[in-house]
Amino acid sequence: MIAGVFPGQGSQSPGMASGWGAQEALASAVFAEASAVLGYDLWALVAEGSAEELGRTEITQPAMLAADIAAWRCYRAAGGRMPVAMAGHSLGEYAALVAAESLAFADAVALVAERGRLMQAAVAPGAGAMAAVLGLSDEAVLGVCAEAAEGEVCEAVNFNSPGQVVVAGDAAAVARAEPLAKAAGAKRFVLLPVSVPSHSSLMREAAARLADALATVPLVPPVVPVLHNVDAKTHDDAVAIRHALVEQLHRPVQWVACVEALAARGALRQLEFGPGKVLSGLAKRIDKNITSLPVWDEASLTAAM
């Protein structure tokens, strides 16, 4: 059985979503639909813009959503069958809900653009940071964060795979975590090129404002189960889905639990719809019984079918 997974922020790159060959018109149509909502040419920005511009959160989020859905629609147009369940990493959760027909694509574009603006506004430039800690247990990372905080915010925010946890918070606190993590035995401590400390408690105000935006957006039960980041559970009614999306913004992404829950449903073949192959790499570290394949251009789609 197949599961569909959708990457989020961090997988973007200039030129992504090109390379679809005969289906390029379908992919560009997705970006045209998003551009109509946003009021600027998203396809041109992705094709011709700089990595720095594409890395701005308020642009990254709709761009990644469009790239994920372009991959999904190309897969379905090629005759790909519906997965038995879906999940998306952080921002990718919105793509999963679109693919599962719970959330209209145009509404999702508007939502993630607003989500990006709210996140960017929540923390002053340079005041927040995120870093990947490699080679420590979850418990060890939690201990490092507690010691590094010193009255500021330093939290484990992405449980991506065994031995890979992302921390986020105030820039000074995250900086204090580096020597502590290395002293505890971390193999690497890698600062991430992001502009906001996603999924940390510094996003509480942004989450509260996102709740207002979500309240106006129609949501229906997904046609296939979507596992949510905040609890690795499925939710079928609009109130619960909205709550999960709000909580996700300021609470950790439980990606290991999501992948394990997909596998528990018998979905040991995962297709990653969107740029790169980050989630495919994580799946192999979470459960060696999972076969995960990226779908992000014509060649990878052919290989995955």
Catalytic residues: 90, 199
Select from 168, 177, 156, 154 the least CA-distant residue to 197.
168
Would you say 185 and 169 are in contact if contact means Cβ atoms under 8 Å apart? Answer: no
HSE on the CB side for 16, CA within 13 Å?
Answer: 30
Select from 86, 99, 66, 92 the least CA-distant residue to 10.
92
Q: Which two tokens stand for residue 118?
A: 């709210």
Q: Which two tokens stand for residue 243?
A: 């709550």
CA distance linking residue 48 with residue 55, whole number of Å:
13
Q: What b/e string do you get for 115-143 counting C-beta neighbours within 10 Å, with b at 16 or more?
A: bbbbbbebbeeeebbbbbbbbbebebbeb
Spatial neighbors of 212 by CB under 8 A, at least 6 apart, are none
Would you say 138 and 165 are in contact if contact means Cβ atoms under 8 Å apart? Answer: yes
DSSP 107-120: HHHHHHHHHHHHHH
CA distance linking residue 50 with residue 47, whole number of Å:
9
Host H or E run for residue 49: none
